Amino acid sequence: GENVEQHPSTLSVQEGDSAVIKCTYSDSASNYFPWYKQELGKRPQLIIDIRSNVGEKKDQRIAVTLNKTAKHFSLHITETQPEDSAVYFCAATPDSYDKVIFGPGTSLSVIP
């Protein structure tokens, strides 16, 4: 089955700097890669997702890149703000699965 690794487990950046979180997956059949943000005491919420038919997707300050050959994908946050502080989870799944495999999470702290 699918296995998703995520690095780093914790990340601190200065406000205004960029943050990058990297994930690797094991199942070459995986073709859907969502990212979730979970603020302290709140529910996880989807922030961006990408399917294997594209290599990059952007939404304002957030971008995700996918390298199918190397089986890794990354989240990029530019011009970080204190409200970006949260735990971020990557995930991967083949379309034939009905469940999504989550990475262990990255705790991002943006220092004002």
- The percent helix, strand, coil of the chain (3-state, each to 5) is 5, 60, 40
Least Å distance between CB 82 and other proteins? Answer: 17
**Residue closer to other proteins (CB basis): 51 or 61:** 51
Length of the chain (residues) = 112
Give the residues lining the site for other proteins (CB under 8 A). 32, 34, 36, 38, 40-46, 49, 51, 87, 89, 93, 95-100, 102, 104-105, 107
100: left (phi over 0), alpha (psi -120 to 50) or beta: beta
Least Å distance between CB 44 and other proteins? Answer: 5
**Residue closer to other proteins (CB basis): 73 or 89:** 89
Residue 32: Cβ-neighbour burial (10 angstroms; 0-12, 13-18, 19+): middle
Cis, peptide link before residue 94, omega less than 30° from 0: no
**Residue closer to other proteins (CB basis): 42 or 60:** 42
Least Å distance between CB 41 and other proteins? Answer: 8
